[in-house]
Amino acid sequence: MSSGHPQLSLSRRQFVASGVGAALAVGIGAAPAHARPRTFGSYGSPGHRLTPRTLYVDARGAGDHTTVQAAVSAAAGDGYILVLAPGVYRETVSVPATATGMTWIGAARDPRRTVVVYDNAAGTPKPDGSGTYGTTGSATVTLRPDGFTARGLTFANDWLRADHPEITGTQAVALKVMGDRSAFFDCRFLGHQDTLYADSPALATLARQYFRDCYVEGDVDFVFGRGTAVFDDCHFRTLTRTDLAGAPYGFVFAPSTAGANPRGFLVTRSRITSTAPAAYYKLARPWVPSSDTTARPMLVVRDTRMSSGIDAVAPYTNMSDAYPWQGQRFAEYRNSGAGAVVSVAANRPQLSPAEAAAHTPGIYLGDWRPAFRLRSGGG
């Protein structure tokens, strides 16, 4: 089934030409060159042009807008395409639910070169004195519409605990996505605690999200939420912490699967690496929030390679003893690497081949087949 997103071809000769400058980097946890997601080719040739619903963003003034939020605010209606020139866009961005079918594209070949970043944390005081931001309010980018697609971008939150010892609310979200049929290709998500929030707009609303060839890094619950999210051929990296003397440093996944999302997180054909000492990270812990005590967190990790940074003996733990992980839906299938060794069978539930057949991207995504297609030809 078609994703419903436009087939694209970038041109605007002057704009594309402006996107070949030196790379800009965000100053937190950059992945080594070998860990980068696969890049992609040129989005078209000079002389081709996009639809009238295309807006070009360039912080240096070569586009229609200099900030991403300005372009989002100018995009009245659905189906808009935002093309972001290389650069660091230090701002928070909120996309309303009415902007259905919106697409963001990094004009550079490398997602490292186009970065949307800010530095709010849950405990950061709001400028108007009305309190702190909270976890949701800390997000650098908040996406509410259905049918959103992004490719070739970095979403980051560079708030650091060491810089703010007075703040105890250390959750700092890079991206919160809530819409159904939201897809991300060749994107990077950088942060520490609560980096990527795969959520839904309401407990009773289905929200499916797809991540392909993406890179996510962090330390505490850095992939979390109640949505149905598929991570296909992605790279997760756990970071070293200087504020803790011993294990555990943190947790990769913290699903809080809601009733309207019968399936939670599926990780397939991916890898989990670490900069931390061996066994300093748990693979997951279930999150049953006070706002939804009926949640049944679900995580399946299959055909994935885990480094020694994951505690192979006891990879799961509790967020609350009232909701032990053994009562949730955690399972693995055909994983490999030092962090995937099954030494205590009771600590690592494994799927049979027949059970694994029910845990594939197609099953989780249902009638939606996410795709990103380019169109050739001008007009």
Hey, what amino acid is at 269?
A: R
User: Of all helices (H) and strands (E), which one includes residue 135?
Assistant: helix 134-137
321 is catalytic: no
Judge if the upstream peptide bond of residue 248 is cis by omega within 30 degrees of 0: yes
Of 128, 221, 243, 311, catalytic: 221
The three-state DSSP-derived secondary structure of 3-41 is CCCCCECCCCHHHHHCCCCCCCCCCCCCCCHHHCCCCCC
Note whether 287 and 323 are within 8 A (CB): no
**Strand extents, DSSP E, 145-290:** 149-151, 154-157, 175-177, 182-185, 188-190, 196-198, 208-212, 215-218, 220-225, 228-232, 235-238, 250-255, 265-268, 271-274, 281-284
Q: Which residues are catalytic?
A: 221
